[in-house]
Amino acid sequence: MKTKYLFAALIFLGATPAAPQTPERAVTAEVTVNAAVAEVWKAWTTGEGIKSFFAPGCKIELRVFGAFEIYFNPDGPPGQRGAEGNMILAIQPHKMLSFTWDAPPTLSNVRQQRTSVVLRFNDLGNNQTKVTLTQIGFGEGEEWDKAFEYFSHAWQEVVFKHLKDRFETGPIGWNK
């Protein structure tokens, strides 16, 4: 009964009931890698490491607001090289890395904006590391939907697969 009166009082005072919140759309992915945390951390935070599994070129400045650019097409013109203009947002050595991320050049409107990625590194013991990724900041609309679908596949099925393979069969030979 008290709830009914409280609701009526709120309406009388001009308050309206809050609309239900839509949960933040997030891409999540995880992989267990047969390597120590320090090795997996190095793969994500150094140029040599990025080139061993992620892309043939990069610009990594391991500091807050430092560059975190991944070049899938390093010889392409600016804006067509890959993940350009991204930066590191937060660092907890061997535990967490956060950075901005842009959409592929084919999604030109969304590409001009950024999402945020958080990687967490968990030592499982026995020379194994679990890497968990969360990407948030997706907008609404058809192009954002395409970006969400793209990254839902790309992180787990491409990037994390290459990361796992890097430690099981060796670095990728990009010149092949």
Give, for all 176 residues of the chain, the pLDDT tens digit. Answer: 454 554 444 445 555 556 566 678 999 999 999 999 999 999 999 999 999 999 999 999 999 999 999 999 999 999 889 999 999 999 999 999 999 999 999 999 999 999 999 999 999 999 999 999 999 999 999 999 999 999 999 999 999 999 999 999 999 988 76
Number of domains, the chain: 1
In a domain, 131, yes or no: yes
Distance in angstroms (rounded) separating the CA atoms of residues 139 and 3 = 36
Q: Are strands 115-125 and 88-92 parallel, antiparallel or unpaired?
A: unpaired
Structural domain range at position 93: 22-169
Residue 88 is part of a domain; what is its CATH number? 3.30.530.20
In a domain, 3, yes or no: no
